[in-house]
Amino acid sequence: MWKLIFVALVALATAEKVKYDNYQVFRVTPQTEEQVEVIRNLEEISDGFSFWKGPSTLQNHADVMVAPHKIPDFQDIMKKFDIPYDTYVSDVQALIDTELPPAQPLVSFDLTRYHTLDEIYAFLDSLAKENPGKVEVIVGGKTYEGRQIKGVKLTLGNSKSGIVLEGGIHAREWISPASILYIVNELLHNKNADVRQLAESHEWYIFPVVNPDGYVYTHTTNRLWRKTRKPYGLCYGSDPNRNWGYKWMSGGASSNPCSETYGGSSAFSDIEMKTLSEYLTSISSKFTAYVSFHSYSQLLMFPYGHTTQHLDNYNDEVSENSNYPIKISLKNLLFYTLIFPTKLWYIYIFVLHLSK
């Protein structure tokens, strides 16, 4: 009997979801370097502030979510340093409630809705079953909680020039896996000549969710979880985007395990990134481009993020007349605004070696 009650209590406890009632998001636009610094420091000093869009440069707005008990503090700080701000989201929980996946799995996969990890993986399996010879299920690695990083390889023409698409490295950015699944569907079914040419002139290695533990956690417990789920001391998870081996912890990452941008205890300390990097190394001779999808912000970010130095072919990549496949794909598949920040504060490691 006690055992039963205990099981029921545990079930109750694990079913409890984090609520964001009365959390607000403020849009803050720093006008001086000092104000940029003040906003940057907010993230380090309190767990009551969480950045949806970090402060990068002057006149560039940041979006910061503030817990209800911290709103007076936030307003005081803004007043003290004379930083202009507006209310961007007046109740975060109300926003979350509008986007939940359907309670019951749908009969057919709906590309206009968000889905659970199980539904996404079942969809990938069904694509492989329905398209033998064209779609193959691939596994890019494994997770701390024992899940697979599952993806699909699309071979729609004779070309062996590969492109890797990856999404969901930040768990809460649900539009990223959703966009990738939309692209998979377009590559398979869109009859537009440009899209067909693009689809058939490459092999596609596509991983919609490369942080599956975190993604599941955003569905079961905390919608705004970003990191992996490996315990690090009193806190959980590293920012997998900052756990890669190249220039690890050389900028844009925190050494505090409780921070949203914690880089991990060492490069590749998270099994997700370690195993994914091993998989990518094993196919490195087969692909020429790697594209990671995030939200939000309308940014096209190029490697390398640790320096403002441009790559040799930078002008080729961003010019309006570029015939590079990624530009065509963005134009055809998505409505995308391209903004080029003067300095990036993130470390992205894979070079976009765009093939002509």
| Positions that interact with Zn ion (CB under 5 A) | 170, 173, 294
| Nearest distance, CB of residue 285 and Zn ion, angstroms | 28
**3-state helix/strand/coil string of 150-195:** EEEEEECCCCCCEEEEEECCCCCCCHHHHHHHHHHHHHHHCCCHHH
Contact 207, 224 (CB under 8 A): no
| Nearest distance, CB of residue 98 and Zn ion, angstroms | 21
User: Of 70 and 294, which CB lies nearer to Zn ion in the complex structure?
Assistant: 294
Q: How far apart are CA 60 and CA 285, in angstroms?
A: 39
Q: How far apart are CA 310 and CA 36, in angstroms?
A: 24
Number of residues assigned to the chain = 356
User: Of 157 and 303, which CB lies nearer to Zn ion in the complex structure?
Assistant: 303
Q: How far apart are CA 231 and CA 229, in angstroms?
A: 6
Please report how many Cα atoms fall inside a 13 Å half-sphere around the Cα of residue 260, on the Cβ side.
23
| Nearest distance, CB of residue 149 and Zn ion, angstroms | 16
- Residue 185: Cβ within 10 Å count: 14
User: Of 62 and 195, which CB lies nearer to Zn ion in the complex structure?
Assistant: 62
Q: How far apart are CA 353 and CA 285, in angstroms?
A: 12
| Nearest distance, CB of residue 110 and Zn ion, angstroms | 24
User: Of 188 and 301, which CB lies nearer to Zn ion in the complex structure?
Assistant: 301
User: Of 230 and 294, which CB lies nearer to Zn ion in the complex structure?
Assistant: 294
User: Of 8 and 339, which CB lies nearer to Zn ion in the complex structure?
Assistant: 339
In this structure, what token pair is assigned to residue 257? Answer: 């395990």
| Nearest distance, CB of residue 262 and Zn ion, angstroms | 14
Contact 355, 288 (CB under 8 A): yes
| Nearest distance, CB of residue 208 and Zn ion, angstroms | 14
User: Of 175 and 283, which CB lies nearer to Zn ion in the complex structure?
Assistant: 175
| Nearest distance, CB of residue 296 and Zn ion, angstroms | 9
The residue ranges of DSSP E strands in 74-134, in sequence order, are 85-89
Contact 315, 269 (CB under 8 A): no
Cα angle 326-329-332, degrees, rounded to a multiple of 5 = 150
**Residue 272: what are its φ and ψ, rounded to 5°?**
-60, -50
